[in-house]
Every structure is written in structure tokens, then in C-alpha cells.
Amino acid sequence: MSNRVYIKTVGCQMNVLDSEMVIADLKRHGYTVVDSADQADCVLYNTCSIREQAEEKTYSALGIIRQEKEKDPSKVIGVMGCMAQKDQELVFKRAPYVDLVVGPGQLHTIPTLLDKVRGGEGRQMAVSLGRKSGSQLEIARSHETFDPLRDPTMRPTPFQAYLRIQIGCDKFCTYCVVPNTRGPEQGRAPEQIYAEAKILAEQGAKEITLLGQTVNSYRFKHEDGTVTDMASLLEQLHDIDGIQRIKFVTNYPKDMTERLLETIRDLPKVSPYLHVPAQSGSDEVLKRMKRGYTVADYMAMMERIERILPEAAISSDFIVGFCGETEEDFQKTVELVKRCRYKNSFIFQYSVRPGTKASERLEDDVPRVVKSRRNVELLAVQDAIAKEDNLKLVGTTVEVLVEGPSKKGVKNDEGDHIIQMIGRTHCDRIVVFDGNRRQAGQFMSIHIDDASSHTLVGRVKTVEVVSIGSLV
Ligand code: 5AD
Ligand code: SF4
């Protein structure tokens, strides 16, 4: 039997990492990876549930794959990730040609379940327990972190890697489906994280990005009762030779403590870049979202960051049009963006998610056109700020880790000549410059000549040669 697998991933970095892990696992089980669904014996969709639109896109992609299945009924179609956990049997109802449904806490079952489907045992499903479907321990155990051996060829670049330090979320923001789909918050043991980071370094990773839904709330309680928190974990990982940058996403404002900020300041490898979603600038809205802080608390956190890490770049997420959001509430969000001067913000229109508190108790009463208008308005404010701040960097020199050709570079790449390359600064700013493919994975100094709201444009800084005597 031929074993060709194709995986399509949508959603957050956690999904990207899950796909990397699943593919590495399947390769160890004899599978080879192909670039398109039509070449594959097994097609896996790694899905997202954060907004309705993400789910609808997946269901329509599944509708298209149906034709492939009709041409070749032996082709196995699998749905994994958050939508699998949330919809469970509903996936089979809405897309009857799906063979496999696997939640994010059950990814280790995929090779066995694929064997069962292909062995003629019919549809298979592996999902974790719901948040009220058992004891705390049973629920937590049913959501397993999946971090098998790493395979650098599975990543877009071998010198950058995601590393999971935490799964799940216990914050239960009223709009959010993640605590249901990814289960209780569980920190991974620091020894495991350290061992994985060492392997990544040996494989050539120069930059690691630590992943967790509320990554700075990371805690691991050891058997002797002592606790490793985020600051101690960063201190441990900082020792690893080869790793030169450590980033982490996503942060929860309330847990951005002075101790953590001081640790970031004192560890040069840790990027002074903090993604700390505010979600709204109105206390009334924050209360209905059950975010657990007020605008004053958030601003106190910004003041701590400014004092301890004055060079840090901050980014945020916002939801516009949440239940009951008035024009006045929205203007408070605009004000917050202006006060915080974020490097960038991701702005989303509120989408009702079944199973969340907001869907049960609050009315989705902001019309779609109003959500859309607020989205555009907030984005314009954010982009203008980002452009102003980026322009201040013109004339300076920044150090980037070169990632590879930019989209434009890929398009114009006809061989080994000068193309547009893309890199990122320690603060996560995107920089484009003319270079060549061999520079990927290197740290380079780039002189900035121009800037837009999302990108800095520069050129490789030539090293000044000071001549000592005559060389002739
Ligand atoms: N509707 C719109 N945006 C949402 N997010 C989370 N849940 C929803 C929802 N129901 C946004 C939040 C979060 C980001 C990952 O997605 O801003 O930080
Ligand atoms: Fe969702 Fe809130 Fe948890 Fe973030 S902190 S994953 S928004 S519940």
C-alpha cells in the first residue's frame, strides 16, 4: 500500500507545530509527504475554530476534496485540530466522506487510526473530554501534549523552531472557544522543554519561539512542591549554546510581572518583543469579556514595560463589535491603541462561538456593517502609528536573522543572483533587502532606508575596511 500524506494547516502557530509533529510521526511510520491532495493517499486538514469564518472555509475545502474522494474512494480524509474537537460527530454529518476526526489532545493516535481506516474498520474518531465531562484529572489527561522527536526537515526553515511549553487555557474569556478545544492549562515539565530545546539547537535552530495560549502564565509544579515559572524557564533555556534568540507568544496581561520583565531585560537572547493582547479599551467590554483586568491595569503593565524594557516592541489583538460594544466603547479602544503605540495589532470582528459563555448569555447585537467599519477604522489608526514609528528607524542599522526570499524574491528568483530577502529584528520587525539565498539563517546588519507600516526596507551594511599600510 502506498503511503503518501498531504497536510493542510490553517490557524495559529500551535497548529503549525502540531502539523510538524504529526508529519514527523507519520514519516517514522513509513509515510512520505506530498505537496498536493491529488497526489496523496491520506489528506489531513488541521483546523481552527477561533472564528466561524475559519470553520466555514474548512467545510468548503472539504466539499472540494469530496470530488477527489469520488475519483478515488480509497483516499482517506482526516480532520484534526480544534474544529475536530469542537464538532466531533458533526464533522461526519456535515462532511460524510470524512474518515477520521482527531482532536488536538489526541494527535498521537493518528498513525494507528489511519491504519484502522485503511484496514477497512470504518470511520475513526479520537477526541478529548469536554470541560465538564469528568474529574479534573481525567479531563487534563485526555488532553495530551504531543511533542515527539523533532525533524528539522519538517520546518519552513531549519534555523527557526516552535517549542511548546504549555497546552490549553483556563482563562475562559467569554468569547473564546480555546479552553474547550484545547482543554485545561498544563505546563510541560521544564526538563522536557530543556531537552527538546537542546535537540533543536543541535539540529541548527538559532531562534526558538516558545508557545502557549497564555505563555507567560507558565508554571510547572515539581513533586517536591517547588515551582518553575516563566522567568526561571527563560533563565534555563538561555544557557543553551547555539540558540541565539528566544521569543514567546501569546502573553496574558495580568501575568506580565516585574520579575518576568526584569528577567527579559537581563537575558540578551530573549527578544524584547511582547505580544500582549488587550482585546478592548473599554472597561465595560473587558468585564463582559471576562478578561480579568481593567484598562488602568493594562496601562500599569505598559508603564512597567516602558520602565524596565524601554526598547521593547509591543503588539496586540483586538476584537471589535463584541456584544454590547457602543460607539463610545469603540472610541476607547481607538484611544488605547493611540496610547500604547503598538508595533502591530491583529484586529478581529467578533464571531459567536457555540459553547462559550458569550454565546449563551450575551447578545451578538453589533451589526456586521458596524463591526466591519470599526475594523477598518482601528486598522487605519494602528497602521498610521506603525508607519510613524517605523519611519523613525530610517537611517539606523538593525540586526536581522535572515529567513529567506520574500514573496517578491521568490517570484523573481531565476538562479543564484540578487533577489529580495526577508529577515526579522530582535523586536520582530520585518525587514526586506536585496541579497541572496545563501544569506538565509545568518544574522546580518541592515541599514534602513525606508519604511511602511509593516515593513522596513534596507540594504546590507558593508563592513568598513580600514587599510593599515599598503597592500600592494
Ligand atoms: N471572535 C473574534 N475574535 C476572536 N478571538 C478569539 N475568539 C474570538 C471570537 N469569538 C481573537 C482574540 C484572540 C485571537 C487569537 O483571536 O483577539 O487574541
Ligand atoms: Fe482564549 Fe482568553 Fe485563553 Fe486567550 S486567554 S486562549 S482569548 S480564553
| pLDDT score of 466 more than 70 | no
Does the beta carbon of 353 lie inside 6 Å of ligand 1? yes
CB 421 within 8 Å of CB 435:
yes
CA pair distance 17, 391, nearest whole angstrom: 34
pLDDT confidence tier of residue 470, bands split at 50, 70 and 90: very low
Count other C-beta atoms under 10 Å from residue 285's C-beta.
23
**Rounded distance from Cα 302 to ligand 2 centre (Å):** 20
Q: What span, in angstroms and rounded, lies between the C-alpha atoms of 176 and 250?
A: 14
Percent of the chain scoring above 90 in pLDDT: 89
Domain segments of the chain: what residues? 4-127, 150-271, 273-391, 397-460
Nearest ligand for residue 51 CA: 1
| Binding-site annotation: residue ranges for [4Fe-4S] cluster | 12, 48, 82, 169, 173, 176
For the residues of 69-108, what is the DSSP string, one character each?
HHH-TT-EEEEEEHHHHHHTHHHHHHSTT--EEE-TT-GG
pLDDT average, residue stretch 363-384: 98
Where are the alpha helices (H) located in 224-274, listed in sequence order?
230-238, 258-266
The region, left, alpha or beta by phi > 0 then psi within -120 to 50, assigned to residue 168 is left
Give me the pLDDT at residue 415, please. 65
Q: How confident is the model at residue 1 (pLDDT cuts 50, 70, 90)?
A: confident
CA 350 to ligand 2 center in whole angstroms: 14
Q: Of 58, 56, 100, which Cα lies nearest the Cα of 77? A: 100
Query: What pLDDT is stored for residue 408 in this prediction?
Result: 84
Q: Which helix (H) or strand (E) holds 276?
A: none
Q: pLDDT band for 155, please (50, 70, 90 cuts).
A: confident
**Which residues are registered as beta bridge partners of 230?**
none
Which CATH fold topology does 4-127 show? Rossmann fold (3.40.50)
Between 335 and 463, residue with greater pLDDT:
335
Residue pLDDT, tens place only, 194-232: 999 999 999 999 999 999 999 999 999 999 999 999 999
Assess whether pLDDT exceeds 50 at residue 172: yes
Strands 219-221 vs 245-249: parallel, antiparallel or unpaired? unpaired
For 184-193, write each residue's pLDDT tens digit.
999 999 999 9
Residue 420: partners with Cβ closer than 8 Å, 6 or more residues away: 405, 406, 408, 409, 412, 432, 433, 434, 435
Q: Which three cell numbers stand for residue 242?
A: 547555539
pTM for the model stands at: 0.95
Residue 471 has pLDDT above 60, yes or no: no
Q: Tell which one of 12, 83, 176 to mutate to probe ligand 1, the residue whose CB is within 8 A of the most ligand atoms.
A: 176
pLDDT tier at 472 (50, 70, 90 boundaries)? very low
Q: Which of 105-119, 296-310, 326-340, 404-418 is predicted with the least confidence, judged by mean pLDDT?
A: 404-418
pLDDT at 361: 97
Mean pLDDT rounded to a whole number for the chain:
95
Res. 465 pLDDT band, cuts 50 70 90: low
- For ligand 1, atom 13, the nearest C-alpha belongs to 317
Q: Looking at residue 411, what is its pLDDT? A: 75
Q: Which DSSP symbol is given to 169?
A: -
- Architecture of domain 397-460 in CATH? Beta Barrel (2.40)
d(C-alpha 350, C-alpha 353), whole Å: 9
Q: Phi/psi of residue 278, each to 5°?
A: -90, -35
Ligand 2 atom closest to the CA of 176, numbered from 1: 1
The cell numbers describing 126, all together, are: 479520537
Contact between 130 and 138 (Cβ < 8 Å): no
Domains 4-127 and 397-460 are alike in CATH topology = no
Residue nearest to atom 2 of ligand 2 (CA): 173
Q: Where are the beta strands (DSSP E) in 92-159?
A: 100-102, 124-126
- Answer whether 341 contacts ligand 2 (Cβ < 6 A): no
Please tell me the number of Cα atoms within 13 Å of 337 on its side-chain side. Answer: 29
pLDDT at residue 469, rounded to an integer: 47
For the stretch 37-76, pLDDT in tens is 999 999 999 999 999 999 999 999 999 988 888 889 999 9
Beta strands in 350-429 (DSSP E): 397-405, 419-425
CA dist list (Å): 297 to 4, 247, 301, 444: 52, 24, 6, 38
Closest ligand 2 atom to residue 250 Cα is: 4
Measured from the alpha carbon of residue 354, the closest ligand is: 1
- Does domain 273-391 bear CATH number 3.30.750.200? yes
DSSP one-letter string for 280-328: -S-HHHHHHHT-S--HHHHHHHHHHHHHH-TT-EEEEEEEES-TT--HH
Mean pLDDT of 408-420: 77
The class level of CATH for 150-271 reads alpha beta
